[in-house]
């Protein structure tokens, strides 16, 4: 009997001790921050995902470090059937308990995936974002105009916060311009005019305008640096740029196709057929490759002579480049008028 009682007491103590240790482990883990350094992580919870699958996903995202403790707590409170599907932004300063509570309540801020194509201008971006219910078109365009943001609404794929459109403009614009600054900072080192671009805001602004022209004209990767050089050469010689996309940049014309009635309009302050030098602002938002071409125009003696280009219209997206007006006229006749080789 004594032996039985002693064994019973020992087993009971072990069970109680183990239980106490397990409970302390769970409660301690659940109450501590996911990451003391903080930060945000986007998480997509698929519709119909099991609690086990969600826990594994959160582990892969380094949002759950003690899977056993997280699962025990989740199953104890019945979280498995209550987690809401969706795309969310998780604050890593939360505790695992807070994370699980928000997953159940749907209290995480939902995100919407949006892709802004290269070459879109302010009105096209505003149309896209307002159609998605992310921004007020009017307020979006007003801030772009006020802060001269055309050219810095970087084309990329974003997960953007879903919020009342009138209140979401600054959040969305900050995300787009922050992405531009990040890409620009990555491309700038080693550029020929790096020092001037860092020191002079107007030089940088002109570069952004150049990049927008390149984006609207170039399709083939090999052409971008050459088109950049043509623009530089023409500006240096005091020639008009005469690039068609500038003719239809405007709130009432951005859906139009370039046409002489726009390009030859004496009141069109953006038409580079009518004005000297660069247009007043960027005419589109350039992607990485066009921005890089603006920073690094083609080099060499041959490139320094180029003053004209014309689209080949042969399906390649490439252009033919010329150094003289006579050469250019022959190229126009060949590629646009079917005048033969």
Task: For residue range 266-284, list pLDDT tens digits in order.
Answer: 999 999 999 999 999 999 9
Vertex 227, ends 237 and 207: CA angle to 5°? 75
Name the residue range of residue 80's domain.
29-107
What pTM was computed for the model? 0.74
pLDDT tens, the chain, 341 aa long: 555 555 655 555 555 555 565 557 677 888 899 988 888 887 888 878 888 898 999 999 999 999 888 988 888 888 767 787 777 778 899 999 988 888 887 666 677 889 999 999 999 999 999 999 999 999 999 999 999 999 999 999 998 988 899 999 999 999 999 999 999 999 999 999 999 999 999 999 999 999 999 999 999 999 999 999 999 999 999 999 999 999 999 999 999 999 999 999 999 999 999 999 999 999 999 999 999 999 999 999 999 999 999 999 888 999 999 999 999 999 999 998 765 55
> CA 240 to CA 275: how far, in whole Å?
7
**Angle formed by the axes of helices 122-131 and 137-147, nearest 10°:** 150
Contact call for residues 151 and 118 (beta carbons, < 8 A): no
The answer to whether residues 202 and 295 belong to one domain is yes
CATH number, residue 148: 3.30.1490.480
Domain count, the chain: 3
| Domain-embedded: residue 330 | no
Residues 226 and 295 in one domain: yes
Picking from 151, 336, 322, the residue whose alpha carbon sits closest to that of residue 230 is 322
DSSP 69-91: HHHHHHHHTTGGGTPPPEEEEEE
Residue 87 domain-assigned? yes
Residue 73 pLDDT: 86
Q: What pLDDT, in 10s, does the model give residues 39-70?
A: 888 788 887 888 889 899 999 999 999 988 89
Residue 253 structure tokens: 């014309």
Domain end call among 169, 186, 203: 186
Q: Do both 149 and 132 map to the same domain?
A: yes
Token output for 232: 């530089």
Please tell me whether residues 167 and 198 are part of one structural domain.
no
């Amino acid at each position: 009997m004594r032996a039985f009682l002693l064994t019973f007491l020992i087993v009971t103590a072990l069970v109680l001790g183990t239980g106490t240790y397990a409970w302390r482990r769970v409660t301690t883990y659940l109450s501590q921050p996911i990451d003391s350094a903080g930060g945000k992580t986007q998480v997509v919870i698929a519709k119909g995902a099991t609690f086990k699958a969600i826990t594994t996903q959160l582990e892969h995202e380094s949002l759950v470090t003690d899977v056993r403790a997280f699962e025990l707590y989740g199953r104890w409170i019945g979280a498995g059937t209550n987690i809401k599907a969706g795309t969310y932004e998780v604050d890593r300063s939360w505790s695992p308990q807070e994370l699980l509570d928000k997953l159940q309540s749907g209290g995480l801020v939902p995100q919407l995936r949006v892709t802004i194509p290269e070459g879109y201008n302010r009105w096209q971006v505003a149309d896209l974002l307002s159609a998605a219910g992310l921004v007020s078109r009017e307020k979006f365009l007003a801030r772009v105009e006020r802060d001269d943001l055309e050219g810095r609404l970087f084309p990329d794929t974003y997960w953007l916060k879903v919020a009342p459109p009138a209140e979401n403009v600054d959040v969305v614009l900050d995300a787009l311009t922050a992405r531009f600054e990040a890409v620009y900072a990555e491309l700038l080192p080693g550029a020929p005019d790096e020092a001037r671009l860092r020191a002079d805001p107007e030089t940088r602004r002109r570069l952004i305008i150049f990049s927008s022209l390149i984006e609207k004209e170039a399709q083939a990767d090999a052409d971008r640096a050459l088109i950049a050089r043509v623009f530089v050469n023409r500006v240096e010689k005091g020639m008009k740029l005469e690039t068609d996309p500038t003719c239809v940049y405007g709130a009432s014309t951005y859906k139009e196709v370039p046409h002489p009635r726009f390009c030859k309009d004496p009141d069109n302050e953006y038409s580079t057929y009518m004005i000297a030098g660069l247009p007043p602002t960027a005419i589109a938002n350039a992607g990485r490759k066009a921005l890089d071409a603006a920073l690094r125009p083609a080099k060499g003696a041959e490139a320094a002579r180029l003053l004209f280009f014309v689209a080949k219209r042969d399906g390649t997206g490439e252009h033919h480049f010329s150094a003289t007006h006579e050469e250019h006229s022959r190229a126009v006749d060949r590629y646009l008028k079917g005048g033969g080789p």
